[in-house]
Chains A and B, each alone.
Chain A
Amino acid sequence: MSNVFADTFAWLADPLHWAGSMGIPARLGEHLQYTGLVMLIATAIAVPVGMFVGHTGRGRVAIVALAGALRALPTLGLLILFVLLAGIGLMPPIWALVILTVPPLLAGTYAGISSVDRNVVDAARAMGMTELQVLFRAELPNALTVMFGGFRTGVLQVIATVSVVAYINLGGLGRYLFDGLVLSDFPQMLGGSLLIAVLAIAVDLLLSLFQRLFLTPGASKLSFRSQEAAVALTDPVVAETVVQGGKS
């Protein structure tokens, strides 16, 4: 057993694995690049639609049903279906990933907007704001924390699913798992798995740090105790139970 760990450590420490187009930094770069591209497209689709539904309340039932149905869709099946229908290349798997990422983002945006205190919205309207001003100046700022919770779920889901994409001949850290599988090179597989796990945890911590620093305005001005309470109340975990994105 210790042998496997030693071999894995040796694999991770080998300078050969840290250079070139198949090196760990390059694979990490690909992994983040795919993730970024998917998040960019998915956000561009989900946030406006979610804001519209949250503000007007139209299509709420459709969104809840859609998010539930898509959660049951197997990631791997969708990825392979897209590749078989549209061919190998960068975009087919990216579109499959977008389809899987839109529901949690959409649900998060919708839940965020509609969770804003109705008194705040009514007050904004009573002050003479137009509907657009109500949406962008009253609802959106108050909804940001919950919306970000959905975004965080989405990012983690994409990072996990991008490792599967390596199975269909794309890059990313998942390559080590499948190359290792073919070669029966277990240290390589384990090394790659550890890298993916560390990446997911690190990104999640960074996002939660970002959320605490920038998305809980006012919290920093409060005393430490009440700040803790505010963080606990607005923790993405709360959003998670509302949003419940998929898991890959």
Chain B
Amino acid sequence: MEWFLANSGMILERGGQHLALALVPMVLGLLISIPLAQLARQNSALRSVVLTASSLLYTIPSLALFIILPTILGTRILDPLNVVVALTIYAVALLVRAALDAFDSVDADVSQAAQAMGFKPLARFLQVDLPLSLPVMFAGLRVVSVSNISLVSVAALLGVGNLGMLFTDGLQRDFVTEVVVGIIAILVLALLMDAVLVLLERVLTPWERAGKLKNHGAQDVPSGTTAAEEAASTVGEAA
């Protein structure tokens, strides 16, 4: 505790770096995977290519990818850009799949009704399909957030600044407190991010709560498929 207080400035700084390294790839991943999933939905050949490539890339261990990327990008090994690109690849791999599931979870009747009402394709996508797919999308985002925050610490092995530094430093100095503080700091960061995402989802999908109040007997299992079913059932009720 004493050590924590004495070094709180350093820990906050590392925490900031950590958060940036985890958050930027998540946002980039989201921005890439939504259009990619939309394209893949219209083209089945592209869909299978995207799914195969993403599961293949996801298989590559992060430490190896952190080292392979500089050769491809022409960056130095210590460059945080390597970490951002690597984690963006993982985020896209997870989110493309989540986005496909999310768009599939939108009731086709609702989407067709919007079209019949005169929505143009882009407006329909932005105002109907995208909002209705949010619950499944958020399930994917929460997984990416937790896994990114945990993965960033591996980059500390190569000397990229983040909370993982507390682990490498703690090992060299044989100092358990520092390692424990690092673990707790990362857990707190992951929990905070998760809470922010849950809150954001609640704000963005007010109709979800209205639906839940009506059938509050429904099981509350945090998995993508149930979220999809829930979304489908609420949409059905609204329609």
Interface residues of B: mostly helix, strand, loop or mixed? helix
A81 contact set on B, CB distance < 8 A: 176, 179-180, 183
Segment touching A, from B105-113, B156-164, B206-214: B156-164
Tell me which of A74, A78, A161, A237 contacts B51 (CB under 8 A).
A237
Known interface pairs A72-B146, A77-B179; A247-B55 also in contact (CB < 8 Å) = no
Mask of B92-114 contacts with A, CB within 8 angstroms, 1/0: 00000100010000000000000
Cα-based distance from A160 to B60 in the complex (angstroms): 8
Which of A's residues lie within 8 Å of B, judged by CB? 1, 4-5, 64, 68, 71-78, 80-81, 83-85, 156, 159-161, 163-164, 167-168, 174, 177-178, 181, 186, 189-190, 192-194, 196-197, 200-201, 204, 237, 241-242, 244, 246-248
Known interface pairs A72-B186, A77-B179, A80-B170; A190-B59 also in contact (CB < 8 Å) = no
Known interface pairs A168-B171, A197-B60, A197-B61; A71-B51 also in contact (CB < 8 Å) = no
Q: How far is the CB of A159 from chain B (nearest CB, A)?
A: 7
Q: Is B222 an interface residue (CB 8 A)?
A: yes
Tell me which of B58, B59, B153 contacts A74 (CB under 8 A).
B153
Tell me which of B62, B166, B186 contacts A247 (CB under 8 A).
B62
A77 near B186: Cβ-Cβ < 8 Å: yes
The A/B interface has a contact count, at CB < 8 Å, of 142
Q: Is B223 an interface residue (CB 8 A)?
A: yes
A159 near B186: Cβ-Cβ < 8 Å: no
Which of B's residues lie within 8 Å of A, judged by CB? 51, 55-56, 58-65, 67-68, 71, 74, 77, 90, 97, 101, 143, 146-147, 149-151, 153-154, 156-158, 164, 166-168, 170-171, 174-176, 179-180, 182-183, 186-187, 190-191, 194, 221-225
B143 contact set on A, CB distance < 8 A: 244
B179 contact set on A, CB distance < 8 A: 77, 80-81, 84
Cα-based distance from A84 to B175 in the complex (angstroms): 8
Cα-based distance from A190 to B143 in the complex (angstroms): 29
Interface residues of A: mostly helix, strand, loop or mixed? helix
Q: How far is the CB of A199 from chain B (nearest CB, A)?
A: 9
Q: How far is the CB of A106 from chain B (nearest CB, A)?
A: 15
B59 near A241: Cβ-Cβ < 8 Å: no
B171 near A75: Cβ-Cβ < 8 Å: no
A to B CB contacts below 8 Å, 28 in the list: A5-B71, A64-B221, A68-B146, A72-B190, A72-B191, A75-B150, A76-B157, A77-B153, A77-B179, A77-B186, A80-B171, A80-B179, A156-B59, A160-B64, A161-B61, A163-B63, A164-B157, A167-B157, A189-B77, A190-B71, A196-B63, A200-B60, A201-B59, A201-B60, A237-B51, A237-B55, A246-B147, A247-B58
